[in-house]
């Protein structure tokens, strides 16, 4: 076994730290369950388990998910753990495995192209929180190359269609809270990543009904459903959402509507929303939220940042006067060109709007880490998706 400081791939942080880490292991060897507690005090350390190495069925490095560390499993060990599943592992332990797998991808200790199908298997887990974690991981719209989008969507459909057959945005009778949250997680993944036409059309229908009557969608589902409708809105629906945003009095309703406008994929509609923002058609807090959401996804991030640069004075006038974090709008970029541009554009701007050198430096670092992540992980993702 070995230890190292956890850092995302591309980080300049110091890896040369050694801790004394209390480990609680649990494993099965030759069909017999066993436990072991030890202290990992060195960078590398040999650990002896009962039984022959060839008889090891599975090994869990964080018994009870009680440890304050992330476990980076090798492919075979991880596959064996997932095979053991809920019959051998607690819900907390399975959650820790999903979390560790995601973390290992971000540190480039595990290939994304191998992690994706493993997370898809976790969609079958009986624990709702494991399913939610797996569904969140599988939404790779930011990472999938455009020329492999159809392959990615086929994989999403293959993974999800058996699980969402016969269910919709509308809650069935006697649905438990866990079932409700799991249903929304799966449907959101199918709509956002798989672009499921049935779910998108149904979301648009419900969103229009909700605009007329707030009781058409339960409050705990409205944000997701209206958000899906906004993401795939045509011009007519987008205009309807804008009109409702401008007249809505309830802050929660306006937040749902602004989020729906912000997640739209259509660059022409996003441009329209930005023009209205600059014309101060929205309340300042709503304009701030709209700008942030438009910059948060790949389809409209560049448009939003370039619009800010070109119409800086108009955009600033539309925002609250106490929002000093404008550089974070660029955190999703992943190229050296954008990194250099962010440093150049914001360095002489009013510190009350930029947050000063620290916020700019954090944004630049985020861009660098995004670039390093894609360089490390996209090749394995491409290799996997080409087979779908």
Question: pLDDT of 110-141, one tens digit each?
Answer: 999 999 999 999 999 999 999 999 999 999 99
- The whole-number average pLDDT for the span 33-42 is 93
Q: Which two tokens stand for residue 95?
A: 């959650």
The strands making up 56-60's β-sheet, listed across from edge to edge, are 32-40, 21-29, 56-60
Task: Decide: helix, strand or coil at residue 228.
Answer: helix
Least confident of 49-53, 140-144, 213-217, 369-373: 49-53
Handedness of CA 331, 335, 339, 345 (dihedral sign): negative
pLDDT at 232: 98
pLDDT at 318: 94
- The whole-number average pLDDT for the span 249-275 is 96
Q: What does the mean pLDDT of the chain come to?
A: 94
Distance of CA 242 to the CA centre of its chain: 26
Q: Is residue 205 over pLDDT 90?
A: yes
Which residues, in sequence order, are bridge partners of residue 21?
A: 40
Q: Is residue 80 over pLDDT 70?
A: yes
When pLDDT is cut at 50, 70 and 90, the band that residue 324 belongs to is low
Question: pLDDT of 279-289, one tens digit each?
Answer: 999 999 999 99
């Amino acid at each position: 076994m070995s230890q190292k400081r956890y850092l995302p791939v591309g980080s300049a942080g110091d890896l040369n730290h050694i801790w004394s880490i209390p480990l609680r292991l649990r494993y099965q060897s030759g069909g017999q369950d066993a436990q072991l507690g030890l202290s990992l005090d060195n960078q590398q350390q040999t650990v002896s388990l009962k039984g022959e190495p060839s008889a090891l069925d599975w090994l869990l490095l964080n018994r009870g998910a009680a440890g304050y560390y992330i476990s980076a499993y090798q492919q075979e060990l991880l596959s064996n753990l997932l095979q053991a599943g809920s019959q051998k592992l607690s819900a907390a332990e399975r959650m820790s495995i999903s979390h560790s797998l995601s973390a290992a991808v971000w540190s480039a200790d595990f290939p994304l192209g191998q992690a994706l199908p493993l997370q898809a298997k976790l969609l079958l887990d009986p624990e709702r929180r494991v399913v939610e974690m797996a569904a969140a991981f599988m939404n790779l719209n930011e990472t999938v190359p455009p020329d492999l989008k159809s392959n990615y969507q086929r994989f999403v459909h293959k993974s999800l269609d058996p699980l969402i057959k016969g269910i919709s945005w509308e809650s069935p009778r006697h649905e438990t809270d866990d079932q409700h949250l799991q249903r929304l997680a799966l449907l959101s993944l199918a709509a956002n990543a798989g672009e499921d036409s049935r779910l998108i059309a149904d979301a648009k229908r419900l969103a229009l009904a909700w605009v007329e009557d707030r009781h058409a969608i339960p409050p705990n589902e409205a944000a997701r459903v209206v958000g899906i409708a906004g993401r795939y809105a045509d011009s007519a629906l987008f205009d309807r959402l804008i009109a409702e945003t401008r007249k809505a009095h309830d802050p929660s309703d306006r937040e749902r509507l602004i989020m729906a406008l912000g997640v739209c994929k259509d660059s022409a509609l996003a441009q329209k929303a930005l023009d209205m923002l600059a014309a101060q058609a929205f309340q300042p807090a709503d304009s701030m939220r709209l700008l942030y959401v438009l910059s948060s996804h790949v389809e409209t991030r560049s448009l939003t940042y370039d619009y800010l640069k070109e119409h800086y004075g108009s955009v600033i006038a539309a925002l609250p006067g106490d929002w000093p974090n404008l550089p974070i709008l660029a955190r999703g970029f992943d190229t050296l060109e954008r990194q250099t541009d962010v440093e150049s554009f914001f360095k002489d701007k009013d510190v009350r709007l930029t947050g000063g050198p620290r916020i700019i430096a954090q944004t630049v670092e985020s861009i660098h880490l995004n670039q390093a992540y894609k360089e490390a992980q996209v090749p394995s993702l491409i290799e996997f998706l080409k087979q779908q």
